[in-house]
Amino acid sequence: MTNTLRLPKRLYLLFTLLALSLLTKSPLRASEKLQVVATFPHDAAIAKEIGGAYVRVDSLTPGREDPHGVTVRFSLVPLLNRADLLLVNGQQLEVMWLPELLQRSRNDRILPGKSGYLNVSKGAELIFYRPEEVGRSPLFDANFVYGAKTGQIANHHYWLNPANGLITAKNIFEKLGELDPEHEPAYRANYEAFVSKLRQKIQEWDALMAPYAGVQVVSYHRSWNYLLKRQGIQVLDYIEPLELGSVKESFLKKLARRMKAQKVSLILMEPYQDKKVAEQLVRETGARLLVLPSSVGSEPGIQDYFQLFEVIYERLIEALKGLQG
């Protein structure tokens, strides 16, 4: 009788300890990889470069997805449960979906303000929106709540200036070394190699783009402002007159007239944007439409950070050369 009563208690204790072990991860052992989760694949790609053999890196979103309209996938919660480090793009790009996933994950280590949470935009060179640029949308309504506290809302596409990749890499390197000091020398070596290569590539890309400084283009969205500013390319206007606002027929007709008057013949867009709208402008102006990938994994063949920018610059330079032909 006594043994019969004790058995359920022992089983209960066993299952309780098992559940706690799944929810509460012990400190990293030498044989374990640091579990890194990034909200977007371009940051995941940099983390892989720096972490090398000592990290496992996953992205919560695919590169082809619109970063403004990420679907909340509760299937991602187990990834967050296991994470030692969460990398966020920041500048409120994740405000509509990440907080709910974090709440469900019950992983205190990766909450804002904790050691396992890193906003990789820290120290990045940012471009701030003017109030008249921002339209009403769920994302920007949420951003304005944040903006009321800070006074400004930054364009969150800062990663498309490759020089900001140097800052992101530094932030990730320092955090990896903090969480896993045993492998800090390896992280440092990988970081220094990444920075050396990226600085060299930036010099090459800047030199290739120099002849096109001052050229005007039209952009679908304000995604390319960072890259275009770096290269001295001017933006006549945007197909979306307000960020994430609706595109009106009357505005497109006015934009077409302005493009013809100022001889602007190149339109930039990303794969997830409405190609039919851009093609309407192409028909009315004869301009060339250039679709550029904006993250790692945006299309087949773009598997790392350097491949992303190689494709961007190769296509952009080819299109700009065509304007002179």
Strand partners, 218: 237, 267
The CATH class given to the 26-202 domain equals alpha beta
* Backbone torsions φ then ψ of 268, nearest 5 degrees: -105, 140
State the Cα–Cα distance between residues 77 and 279, nearest whole angstrom. 39
Q: Nearest CA to 49 among 193, 164, 154?
A: 193
Q: Can you give the residue ranges of every domain in the chain?
A: 26-202, 207-324
Name the nearest CA neighbour of 69 among 153, 140, 155, 150.
Answer: 140
**pLDDT for position 139:** 53
Residue 57's SS3 state is strand
Q: How far apart are CA 29 and CA 98, in angstroms?
A: 28
Residue 118, SS3?
strand
| Residue 226 · residue 160 · CB < 8 Å | yes
Helix ranges restricted to H, the chain: 2-23, 41-51, 77-82, 98-105, 138-150, 162-179, 184-209, 225-231, 249-261, 275-285, 305-324
- Reading the block at residue 220, the tokens are 């679908």
Pick the CATH number of 207-324 from 3.40.50.1980, 3.40.47.10, 3.40.718.10, 3.20.20.80: 3.40.50.1980
Both ends of the chain: CA-CA distance in Å? 94
The reported pLDDT for the residue numbered 242 is: 77
What's the pLDDT at 209?
Answer: 98
Q: Is there a shared CATH topology between the 26-202 domain and the 207-324 domain?
A: yes
Q: How far apart are CA 15 and CA 143, in angstroms?
A: 43
Distance from C-alpha of 263 to C-alpha of 121, rounded to nearest angstrom: 36
Instruction: Give 145: exposed, middle or buried? Use CB within 10 Å, 0-12, 13-18, 19+.
Output: exposed
Phi-psi region of 106 (alpha: psi -120 to 50; beta: other; left: phi over 0): left
What are the 10-residue block averages of pLDDT along the chain, 325 residues in total?
A: 47 46 47 92 98 98 93 94 97 92 95 97 93 63 52 87 98 98 98 98 98 97 96 96 78 96 97 94 97 96 97 98 80
- Other CB atoms within 10 A of residue 167 CB: 18
Phi, psi of 176 (to 5 degrees): -60, -40
pTM of the model: 0.87
**What's the pLDDT at 321?**
94
Cα pseudo-dihedral 22, 28, 32, 33, rounded to 10: 100
| Structure tokens given for 127 | 């471009």
